[in-house]
Each structure stands twice: as C-alpha cells, then as structure tokens.
Amino acid sequence: MTMDSTLAPTESTEGATRYPLDPLTGAEIEAAAAVITESDYATATLKFVMIQLAEPAKTATLTFRGVADVPRRAFVTAYDAAAKLIYEAVVDLDARVIDSWTPIPGRFPSYLVEHMTGVEEKVREDPRWQEAMRKRGVTDFSLAMIDPWPAGYYGAQDHYDNSALICRPLTFMRAAPSENGYARPVEGLIVTFDLDAMAVVDVEDHGAVPLPTKGGNYAEKFMFDADNRPAFTQFRDDVKPIEITQPDGPSFTVDGWNVTWQKWSLRVGFNPREGLVLHELTYTDRGTVRPVMYRAALSEMVVPYGDSSPTHWNKNVFDMGEVGMGFSANPLTLGCDCLGEIFYFDGTVNDSSGNAVTIPNAICMHEEDYGISWKHTDFRTDEVEVRRSRRLVISMICTVGNYEYGFFWYLYNDASIEMEVKLTGVLTTGAIADGETPRWGKMVAPGMYGPNHQHFFNFRMDMSVDGPGNSVYEVDSIPEPDPELNPHHNAWITRDTLVASEAEGARDWEHSTGRYWKVVNPSKLNEFGAPVAYKLMPKDIVPVMVQEGSVIYDRARFVQHNLWVTRYEPNELYAAGDYMYQCAEAQGLPQYVADDAPLEDTDVVLWYTVGAHHVVCPEDWPVMPCHYTGFKLKPVGFFDGNPALDLPPSPPAACHHH
C-alpha cells in the first residue's frame, strides 16, 4: 500500500483556509502572475523567473497556530530582457494588489524555464558550430546534446554593463537516440549564447580532439548492444526481493503540509529556488512542545572545477541560485526512488508566462528502520533490553544537467536531526588525445577523463532551541591545561568559546580538538543548571581547493568556512546572495556579517557548508554510485536523560527459514 498524493496537499485544500507557511497553490501562482500582467508594470517582454510564497514575519511564539488574519502574499521575481532589468514584486493574493514593485539594477536573473530547452535547437542551427563539428567528423547534428551551462565569469566582458544575459553551452555527441551522450564530449568547443535574444554570439574552437569511441551506456535497453556494451552482460540473478510492509500503516500523520511523527511536529514547504523546506520543527517532551528549529533549507550550492583547460576552467555552477532546485526536482517513483509506505507531496512551480506547473511526487516521505537505538545485556542475569531506532525520511532528488542530487532530511526518535546529500548521475567529461595523460583529472574510459572538481552545499538553519533567544559556542576538546591536575598526562577537558558577534561568526572545523558547535538557550536550564542545547556535528570535512585570485573565489566566498553564524534577518536567505549570475563580487554571507551584529542570546542562524571532494575513478563511470555527505544535529543537555528510553520493545520475530 502507498499513499500516493494524486490529490496532493498543494491542490487538495484549494479554497480552504491555508496555513501561512503553506506553499503557493497553482491557483495562487497564476493569480499573482495575473495581477502583475494586468498592471501598469507589465510589458510585452516581461517574463516570470520565480513565483513563491512571501513568508510572513515570525511571531513571538514561533508558530502561526491560533494567529488569525495572516495575509497570503506571493514574492515574484520577473525579468524584462528588453530593459535588461530584474524586478521584485510582492503581491497581496487576498486583495489582488501589488504591495511593492522594486527594480534590481546591476544583476542578472537565474534561468528562465525555456532557457534549459531552447538553447540546444538554436546552437545546432549555427553555421560556426556546424563547421567546428565537421572538423571533428560529425555530420549528423541531430544526435548532438548541447548543455546550456551557466556563463560563470570570464572577466569584465561578462559584467552587467557590458553583457547580455548569456550562457556557455558545451556539446556532447550521442551515437544513437537516447544513448549516453556524455560518453563523447566535444572537447575545446565553447559557445557563447545570448539568452536575451536566444541567439549564438560567438563560437570558440580551441582545436579538435578525437571523440571517444567507447559507449558509456547503463540503461537496460542498451545492455546487449554489441557495439556499445557497458561493463556487464546480464543482470545479477541472485538479488532476492525485499518487501517493506507496515500492516497498520505508517506512524506519521499528514494534515495538508503539517506532519506529526511520534514526538516530532513540522511543516513541509516547497519553492522553485530552494525546493524542499522544513518549518516549525518541534519535539514534545513529557507533554511540553519544545521548538528546535524554525526553518531549514539548502541556501546555495556550487561546483568548482579544478581543470585549467579551455573547456573546463570556468565551470563553477551555482545549481540552486543559477537554475533552481525546485525547478529541477524529479517526479519520484515508488519502488525505485522511494521504498515502503510512502506519502508524496507534489511541488508546484511557474513557467515564464506565469502558468503553474505541477511536479508530481516531488517530495517523498516515509519511515525507515535504522538498526539498534540502544541495548544492554546484564551478563549476571542474562536480562536483555534492546530498542530499535527509526527515522522519518523527507527527501527530494534534483537533476541539473548531468548530475543528480538527493537531499534527505532525517528525524530520529532520539530527537536527533540529520541532513544527508546523495550525489549520483553522470560525470561531466572531457576528451583527450590518444597517449596523453590528463593533468587535472583521471581517466574513466579510453580517450576520456573526468576533471577534478568539488561540490559544496550550504544549509541555512534558523535555530530556535527551546525558544527564540539562543547563543552559539564552539567546543574544543583539549588536554588538561593545569599540569598539577594532570599528573598522569591523560586528562582532557572541553573548552567552550562564545561566538559573540558576526565578526567572529565565520568558523572552521579543527580535527585535532574534535571541534563541534552547540546552540544553547541561556534562559532554559536543565536539571544540572546548564543551558539546554543542540550540537552541530560535522561529517566528512573536505579541503577547499578554491584559490584566492580565481574567478570563483569571491563569487562563492561561503565555501571558505565550514560554519557561519549570523543574527536573523528575514531577507538574508542565500549564502552567495540573491543574484550571483554573471556577477564577480562577494555577496551573501560576507555582506551579512559586515555589520558585526551581536549574537549572544538572540535569534541566531547557522549556515553550514558540507563538501564532496571528487577525484574521479573508472568506478564512477558510466553512472556514478551514490556519494554521501552531510551533518547531524544532536541534543546535548536538552533533555534530562535518553529521550528514546520510552521506545516500546519490538516483538520477537524469527526469519522465515528458522
């Protein structure tokens, strides 16, 4: 049994009273677009970039339960290519009026929906591109795959004052329709494309490199293709079915976008830029509802490449801010993407004309067994107590060109929270001449290599640990500093350092001290007189290879520190700024901390960056096994004891063959 949201929460409550944090419905998206289209601000060349909920201001109680008359508003970004200008609008959906209309000069928008589909056709028709392809022995242009890579930043010519909105498409060749075209990268061929005019501006040809000849197919229909056979000839025949059943149904309940699961309560959200958002996470402790986190979402990601060759040096994609995670969300499939007793939330986004577009099953929610939560055997009495751990999984998988990114939020029944990023998909590849060895990457197939690159994801977490007044401490484990107290040279202590203001808010992990950070509520003390807290536990820290002096250094300044701490400001949502497309200046977090706001006993926001360091290998080809990275939030002194102590024992069950 599955709970497939054919009538998803986005549309099933149409006309009913909506919670102030619920995502916009399709009708609300189209109403916001209509209000603008019918206004004096509209022009024939105005396009809608993103239409999403304008989230209302926080309340003192950190919830809107019992709060009446909160207006529904849409936040709209629009782009006029003729005027070369972005506009931000707030539309009151109840009154059907425009509350504000603000031009944003000197910035470029993220992609419009048609940019991802219209570029390929125009490039394929260009005679300069065709001539470059003929030099490489290609005459059937219909099999070309042309990926519209964001422009990055080449220099001053890409700046707002000197440039149109552009992208720099890269070309790959299929050997047959629907075959894996990334197996045949067209090296050295770079197109500059004007997205305002939807026309090719320039074609750079840095010299032909032979196309790799070996196929890289992975789909079942190509498995027995003698000319393009991948690294297996038949499926394994010893994989037995695994069935996950919950005869009494799942332990969670869903009311619109509100989810309750055991002692957790939260609200799920979705928008075209961030995709999956979590709101109002609380945990009920002995009858008391205790807030933990007000809002959590991906705030930005970037993929800097470490290859100096002409085709690859400027690959520095901000997949969220330049494309949009919500726009890129997959419709998820039962039994493939999600397994078990599933509840789906549809995602609703806009096209550039302001029409609503539904992504069915964009968010998947289910429960997972997670092994042992706790256990002890009394060896004197042979009495055993053991409890199994369970987690609630809320996930989204996005496809951006060649890569897939899975974003998985886990809530555990011991009150822990985890974010896990799963990276898979197909490598972006480069061709290399026979006999050459790539300097800035590794071979994955004959004539083809994968460039060195990294992925960085920054997550913004608006904390509310037992209430709104929080402080952040950096915790280091160090040897006992007083020699008289450490005669055996074995003692060690933890040292807490207050992150007192935003000038001190950019923090780095330290392996030698087992560093972590904790968010405390100084107004709420546990039974030992210590402030209640949650700690942020780093995982898989990677070195940052982005170097000062590179074009990406300032654009992605957020990667230079593992953690940034800021005081809450409602308009500070994105680690690299609101509009980073074709912009070289440092935006986002460096600007947010510039006023050096105090951070003690206030409304604090954590911005945590996790990375994946990718030196590729043949095992990553032709499709990459999942790589995992992430972090965890764990209660420390938030409770008076193990919060999972009240888990019921599991009934003994034998395997079917015993």
- Residues classed as catalytic: 319, 403
Residue 638 in contact with residue 415, Cβ under 8 Å? yes
Q: Supply 304's token pair.
A: 């800097």
Q: Supply 210's token pair.
A: 């032979």
**Residue 546 C-beta-side C-alpha neighbours within 13 Å:** 23
Q: Is the peptide bond before 622 cis (omega within 30 degrees of 0)?
A: yes
Q: Residue 215's CB: how many other CB atoms inside 10 A? A: 21
Q: Edge-to-edge strands of the sheet including 189-194?
A: 166-167, 189-194, 199-205
Instruction: Render the burial of 387-423: b for 16+ CB within 10 Å, e for the rest.
Output: bbbbbbbbbbbbebbbbbbbbbbbbbbbbbbbbbbbb
**Per-residue 3-state assignment (H helix, E strand, C coil) for 472-499:** EEEEEEEECCCHHHCCCCCCEEEEEEEC
Cα(348)–Cα(12) distance, integer angstroms: 13
Q: Supply 56's token pair.
A: 């209302």
Helix axes 127-135, 115-125, angle to 10 degrees: 70
Cα(100)–Cα(105) distance, integer angstroms: 16
Grouping H, G, I as helix, E, B as strand and the rest as coil, residue 206 is coil
Residue where the block lists tokens 């995709």: 275
Cα distances from 471 to residues 124, 565, 599, in angstroms, run 56, 10, 6
Cα distances from 277 to residues 7, 23, 271, 347, 459, in angstroms, run 20, 10, 8, 11, 11
Nearest C-alpha neighbor of 407 from the set 533, 269, 298: 298
Grouping H, G, I as helix, E, B as strand and the rest as coil, residue 24 is coil
Grouping H, G, I as helix, E, B as strand and the rest as coil, residue 500 is coil
